[in-house]
Amino acid sequence: MNAQILKKYAVWLILGLTLLATYWTTQQEENQQTLSVNTSALQKPERLQISHVESQKNSPVFQLRANTADTPNNLFTVINPIIEQNENAAVAAEPQTPSNPYTYAGKLVNDGQVIVFLTDGTKNYAVQVGDYLGADWRIDAIYLPEVTFKYVPLNTQVKLYIGA
């Protein structure tokens, strides 16, 4: 029982010390803010400001930053290293596979053979494995969750989800 009372008073003592420390730091901050407000009110033209800074050189509270004519920079901009920019330029120079112009319209499964119906917005197509769509696209594979197209000029594959 005696140990519980001791713990209780120790907690109250620690809370009281915390309050005192908080009050002391706020008083210190308020004193520093009033000093910085006073220095901003004392600013004079550029020539006089320099002599003011020289006279207060040893005081850490009155150190003023020299005026600069630089424009502010965005702190959150992402700076890419030159190496990454060169790599991106090389990748951009290579021809890219265009997006698949065909959308899924339906499918028919007959005796294990799958026929997929596609549309490009103007024409409808019924395709099987090996069929060409125009001169550039060929159907490489049809496995029931997806159809695999091949873009023939670049020999790249694009998949289209058609469901189970």
What is the CATH classification number for the domain harbouring 148?
A: 2.30.30
Give the neighbor-by-neighbor strand order of the sheet with 137-143. 132-133, 137-143, 146-151, 156-161
pLDDT at 154 over 70: yes
Please check whether residue 103 is in contact with residue 117, taking contact to mean a CB–CB distance below 8 angstroms: no
**Number of domains into which the chain is organized:** 2
pTM of model > 0.75: no
pLDDT of residue 80: 63
Which of helix, strand or coil describes residue 123? coil
The range of the structural domain enclosing residue 125 comes to 103-161
pLDDT at 4 over 50: yes
Please check whether residue 149 is in contact with residue 158, taking contact to mean a CB–CB distance below 8 angstroms: yes
Residue 47 covered by a domain = yes
